[in-house]
């Protein structure tokens, strides 16, 4: 049998990336609150000096924070590894054979990467 990451390692990796998505998603309200603070300033000069930069950062970061794209290659690599090395034909079969349940954020990331995880395999 081929060498493959352990089910515990798969769980750790999927949990880590689910947590990354959770924390990134939680950053958007802080960015918005900061932008709103600048918009609500009573003085013209600070607003003039800060608004465009804060707005640009807000737009750039919220666009990247709402996307799984930066992590899809990692997701594909992990899932391709376990499928290739385990002999299972689907990711669900691998998860079920190893009694692995994953976070919904990992399920979403996997879906974006082209892998279906049934709700039965989600915490």
Q: What is the pTM of this model?
A: 0.74
Q: List, for residues 55-93, the tens digit of each pLDDT value.
A: 888 887 777 766 777 788 899 999 999 999 999 999 999
- Number of Cβ within a 10 Å radius of residue 114: 11
Direct distance between the N- and C-terminal alpha carbons of the chain, in angstroms, rounded to an integer: 29
Q: How confident is the model at residue 108 (pLDDT cuts 50, 70, 90)?
A: very high
Nearest-angstrom CA–CA distance, 55 and 111: 31
Q: 117 near 111, Cβ under 8 Å?
A: yes
Q: Residue 93: phi, psi to the nearest 5?
A: -60, -40
Q: Where are the domains of the chain?
A: 7-121
């Amino acid at each position: 049998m081929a060498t493959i990451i352990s089910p515990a390692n798969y769980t750790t990796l999927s949990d880590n990336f689910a947590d990354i998505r959770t924390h990134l998603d939680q950053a958007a309200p802080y960015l918005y609150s900061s932008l709103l603070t600048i918009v609500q300033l009573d003085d013209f000069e600070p607003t003039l000096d800060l608004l465009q930069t804060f707005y640009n950062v807000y737009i750039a970061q919220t666009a990247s924070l709402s996307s799984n794209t930066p992590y899809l290659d990692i997701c594909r690599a992990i899932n391709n590894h376990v499928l290739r090395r385990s002999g299972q034909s689907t990711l669900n079969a691998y998860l079920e054979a190893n009694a692995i349940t994953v976070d919904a954020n990992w399920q979403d990331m996997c879906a974006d990467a082209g892998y279906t995880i049934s709700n039965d395999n989600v915490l």
